[in-house]
Amino acid sequence: MKLFIKIVGIFYLLSFTSLYANDECQPQDLIINKSDLNNEIDQNTATDSSVFIYFDQSLSMQGYTKDQSGQKNLYINVIDDLQQIAENVGNKTYYHSFGKSILPIQENKISQVIKPIFYECTGSAQDCNNQESKIHLPFKMAEANPDGTYVIVTDLFLSSKQLVGGTLNQLTKPLKSILKKGKSVGIIGVMSSFNGTIFDIPKREGGTISYTEAQKRPFFIIVIGNQNEINRIKKNLEEQHFNDPEDQYKFSLITSTPIVQNLTENKLIDENSIRNISNAEKFKFEYLNDQLPLFQFNTDKKRKLNFTIDNKEIIVPGSTGVSGYDVKETLWVSQKLKCKEIDWRKSKFETISQWSQSNDSLSLDLFKEVSLKKLFRGMRYFYVADIYATKPGNLSEEIFEEWSIRDSEAEEFKESNPVEFKTLNLTKIIKILNSVANDEFEPTLIASIGLDFNLIK
């Protein structure tokens, strides 16, 4: 009798040996989804286009051009090299100032940008370009010519009234159009010495005041263009100017396409992508129809299955990242084990697994909700998970938070006589940019996996 049981057991195990690598094994209604990612071209293909640089000519910018004793003047150093950096990106560079309006700058006058005289005006206030900072104007230019790369140098010091109603719409409308065309917005913040006057600091009871005691404050380089061009400019600045550990700078990429690639389509999923699965009985890994990474194995009910994705593989470097995911899951089951006899039935389970996220990775606990313990032994199962990014993150708001101050806090902050002055409504500005990017974001398929397994005991 014992010999008979052993023979039956051996036959039972051998019946699993040739279950795989046959089209008849997969469910007939299996659909392998594909992503529609197009920003991979945007990231890796350089363009031969023009670069347009806009310098904020408002009077508060003048303080960056004057050295401050004991402080490092990164503004003069960075702007001095910006012309060379721009030439590495495009085939021709055009220079402008902006304030109340946009004015062209002749190439032989560019050197004045790092001198106090550039920000002065001897005429009437009505005729001067240094009394306002209409930052939406360069964005409108970028909207009109999406093939160009646009660089905006500014202190980004905007009052709340510039961030509401029609004035806000003047900024968000072109931004939406820019993002829809596959472009991104990079924000590079640089802490520099400052020796001048900060104007238009809001008072609690209305009106504004000025401050002249600041020794440092950040300025910003906003780059509108392809992600590869933004990252090239950032890299050049890092290599040339931010070598000292004491140098303070921040970077964020505002984009409606924070996903760099689909792991399945680029075949970056392998037999080790599910932890400890390769030691399972009858394990085999292949790309089904050269499209779906399929893990095939025998298992018992005690096995834990975890699929992990490294954030660096899917998220555009420096971007706001991803804060929400959705997993579309399908599970088929059959009492027949051989491919020619198999008869798949789709289960009614909608949520089978759970995802969790850390700073470094996305983890999918397979069969966490519907555990293997709830499934029947001696059955064959076919499982497919499509993982979608559904919500962009807000990392850029956290990155710039320490440099930001609200309107309601500005007067009290000024009265504390700070050496390092913060930027008015900086977090609010970043939040607005992120909000527009979020509106343009569409759920994106980042990976698909398949499991074909027998629950043997």
- State residue 240's pLDDT score: 87
Give the helix ranges, DSSP H, for 89-201: 136-144, 165-180
Sheet of 292-299, strands arranged across? 281-288, 292-299, 444-455, 379-392, 322-334, 345-346
The mean per-residue pLDDT over the stretch 292-296 comes to 96
Q: How far apart are CA 406 and CA 24, in angstroms?
A: 64
The mean per-residue pLDDT over the stretch 234-251 comes to 87
Taking the domains of the chain in order of start, what are their residue ranges? Answer: 19-37+261-392+444-455, 41-256
- State residue 425's pLDDT score: 93
Amino acid occupying residue 48 = D
Residue-wise pLDDT for 68-116, tens only, equals 998 999 999 999 888 888 878 878 899 999 998 999 998 788 889 999 9
The mean per-residue pLDDT over the stretch 214-240 comes to 92
- State residue 318's pLDDT score: 79
Q: Is the pLDDT of residue 14 over 60?
A: no
The mean per-residue pLDDT over the stretch 132-148 comes to 90
Residue scoring higher pLDDT (325 or 20)? 325
Q: Which run of H or E residues covers position 396?
A: helix 395-400
Q: How far apart are CA 145 and CA 226, in angstroms?
A: 13
The mean per-residue pLDDT over the stretch 325-348 comes to 90
- State residue 133's pLDDT score: 85
| Contacts (Cβ under 8 Å, ≥6 apart) of 347 | 330, 331, 332, 333
Residue-wise pLDDT for 33-48, tens only, equals 888 765 443 444 444 5
- State residue 388's pLDDT score: 95
Q: Is the pLDDT of residue 193 over 90?
A: yes
- State residue 21's pLDDT score: 43
Residue-wise pLDDT for 307-332, tens only, equals 999 988 999 887 878 888 999 999 99
Q: Confirm whether pTM is higher than 0.85.
A: no
